[in-house]
Structure 1
């Protein structure tokens, strides 16, 4: 963890699913840039407070806010609480997500309820949070939204068909919101490949990490910190000319082998 570099001093960022894993890494990275952080969580209260304390240690203000992004009223309440505390919102990172593991070859491993459950958080939740904070982002004249998608959205892989489909929908939502919220607000997405986080048990995580170090062009297994760098780039001044983009961050895993078209 580095010291504050100051490029986002005074800005306020809302990070959904910000208590653990990638969300926590994004929260810390934003704090390193000088942004005050509102960490939105649904169940991980202790972890959210621990991440907030890490952010405070970097010299910024950080609060935790409980809210289910799948509940529109909760999203609006989150926005209201953040504005009541800080007076503004400059950045939203829609990181909250869920999945259900299911063998892609077994069409009976999922039902309609599973799809609706994942879409409720992964797609509808991102829409509802964006809608809730949009007036506050527009008020700053240069707001940013970053959605956390997945490379499974483009190659149909990942933990289940329902997860991949929900992330593909999130990609389309990103592009639609980029049109709708311009010119004041930029909307982009980051598409991580494998990330070694708590979504996997330790044995699976280590096995996949070894595999990705072997077969990716960059010979890397992704970490939460790797993806956080990409997310915060899209939040910050360096991406001021970018909107409606889907940034793949996967160590080149989705590249075709050299010599193939």
Structure 2
């Protein structure tokens, strides 16, 4: 056995939710480059079709885009079924889709907003993991990766429902690691602030100033910087890693002062 483990994903099938942009797009492209067949899921059909086409052209990998709203129980069921119909298996599931709408105050959070945030960030990942993880156990193995957030351990007042959902996702990760053991590994990624397309709405000057005080690496993450940890958890390199949540946050979650 070689001393250096392989991060290759040859012949594996990876399903990535929220895969048409941001960190999900980076992960999908990296998996395709490493030999995986990639299924990209997101709400908008045109977005997933475009992302699927572009990744296939860039990497030569077989890709598939499926429009699905992961906050909807039945659409999660259909997403899993469509992927199994096309490829016959899922080796890697990345629950990356997320949302955190702005609200004026916690007292003004509507039930609709609350349910939507919990649905996309927690209910959907639970439903997909339950379906896919059970079939992974039957198939003899697989890897589930839940994309959490440093908000789950260092929440702010303007993202409370989101932080609650991501904290629940952390708990789900640990529980399913035991439920699906020993053949299926379930782990999490905990990103801090990343400079994806979402950051275009930020006051970047104010963010840079805060980062110098609150983030040990003194900056936001570049999207490609999630890839190393995402490849590790998907590949055989992490064969003895389960029930683990890896922070990729520049030290921000515990670095504030």
**C-alpha displacement at 1:211, in angstroms?**
3.6
CA offset digits 1:27-72 (Å, max 9, x no partner) = 00111111000001112x3332232123213121000011121222
Matched with 1:52 is 52
Q: Residue deviations 1:184-204, cap 9 Å, x none?
A: 111111111101122243452
More helix by share: 2
Which residue of the partner structure matches residue 70 of structure 1?
Answer: 71
- Offset at residue 221 of structure 1 (A): 1.5
Q: TM (normalized to structure 1)?
A: 0.88
Over aligned residues, Cα RMSD in angstroms?
A: 2.2
In the superposition, relative to structure 1, how do residues 206 and 9 fare at CA in structure 2: closer, same or farther (>3 Å)?
farther
Report the CA distance shift for 1:201/1:247 in structure 2 as closer, same or farther (over 3 A): same
Distance 1:48 1:206 in 2: 32
Summarize the Cα distance change of 1:9–1:199 in structure 2 as closer, same or farther, 3 Å threshold: same
Aligned match of 2:99: 98
> How has the CA–CA distance of structure 1 residues 171 and 244 changed in structure 2, closer, same or farther, with 3 Å as cutoff?
same
Matching residue of 1:131: 130
Give the Cα separation in 1 of the matches to 2:33 and 2:158: 32
Higher relative contact order (CA 8 A, sep 6+): 2
Matched, 1:167 2:166: yes
Residue of structure 2 in register with 1:84 after alignment = 85
- TM (norm. structure 2) is 0.89
Please list, as runs of the form range in 1=range in 2, the aligned pairs for 1:201-240 lying within 5 A after superposition.
Answer: 201-205=200-204, 207-209=206-208, 211-212=210-211, 215-240=214-239
SS of equivalent residue, structure 2 residue 220: coil
Deviation at 1:123, TM superposition (A): 0.5
Separation in 2 of the partners of 1:133 and 1:162?
26
Give the CA deviation at 1:217.
Answer: 2.0
CA contact (8 A) 1:41 1:48 kept: yes
Check conservation: 1:29, 1:228, Cα contact below 8 A: yes
Residues 106 and 158 of structure 2 are in contact (CA less than 8 Å); yes or no, is this contact kept in structure 1?
no
1:12 and 1:71 mapped to 2: Cα distance?
23
| 4+ residue runs over 6 A deviation | none
Deviates more, 1:68-77 or 1:204-213: 204-213
1:256: Cα distance to partner?
4.1
List runs of 5+ in structure 2 lacking aligned partners: 1-5
